Homo-oligomer: A and B are copies of this chain.
C-alpha cells in the first residue's frame, strides 16, 4: 500500500533538491538521497516511484499552500487583496522561505535538467486539481463541470508560466523582485487566464437563493 506520510516525503524532497542542485540529477543516485536523508534506500523507493519525483512534494508545496489559503478566501475580497494578505512576509515561516528559494532554484535549472520537467508538470497538475475545487466552491458549481475544469487548467498554467518566468529572471539574470511585484504579476496572470469571473468579490448567497448567474462562459 502506498504510504504518504507527508512530513517524511517533504524532508526527503528538501535533501534531494539540494543534491540535484549541487551535483545535477544524473550524478545523484537514490543511494545518495537516502544517505542524505538518513533513511534506507528502501524507504526512499517506498515513498517515491522515481528519483526525479523525490522533489515533487517540494515543487507542489507552493501550489498546495496556495490552494490551502484559497479555501479561506472570503467571497467579499478580490484576488489581489487576498494574495497580498496571504503572502505577506510576516506570515511566512522560516522554512516556507527556505523552501521557496529551493523551488525557485529548481525551476531555474529545468531547461538544463529535462528529467525534472515531468515532475514539475506533475506538480503543477496537482495544483490544478486543487484549483478545481476552489473555483467550483467560489462559483457554487460542481467540480465536475467542464467549464470549471477548463478555468482551473488555464489559471494553473498561467501560474506555472509566471513561476518559470520569475525563477529564470531571478536566478539567471539576477533580477530582484519585491513581494508586491510577485503578487501583482500573479494576480494579473490569473485574471488574464481565468475563463470564469471568480477573481472579484461575489455576492454572498444562500444555497437555495437564485440570482442571475455571471458564471456562464463567454460565447
User: Any chain B CB within 8 A of the CB of A85?
Assistant: no
- CB < 8 Å neighbour of A158 from B117, B154, B162: B154
Chain B residues closer than 8 Å to A156, beta-carbon distance: 157
Give the contacting residue for A125; candidates B121, B191, B193; CB below 8 A.
Answer: B121
| Secondary structure dominating the interface of A | helix
This chain: copies in complex: 2
One digit per residue, 1 when the CB lies within 8 angstroms of any chain B CB and 0 when it does not, for chain A 112-136 equals: 0001011101100100000000000
Known: A121-B125, A125-B117, A217-B192. A161 touches B165 (CB 8 A): no
> Contact string, A187-215, partner B, CB cutoff 8 A, digits 1/0?
01101110100000000000000000000
Give bound CA distance, A68 to B93, whole Å.
48
- Could you tell me the distance between the alpha carbons of A116 and B119 in the complex, rounded to whole angstroms? 12
- Please choose the segment from A37-45, A100-108, A145-153 that sits at the chain B interface, where 4 or more of its residues have CB less than 8 A away: A145-153
Q: Which residues of B contact A117 (CB under 8 A)?
A: 122, 125
Any chain B CB within 8 A of the CB of A218? Answer: yes
Residue ranges of A at the interface with B (Cβ–Cβ < 8 Å): 49, 115, 117-119, 121-122, 125, 146, 149-150, 153-154, 156-158, 160-162, 165, 188-189, 191-193, 195, 217-219
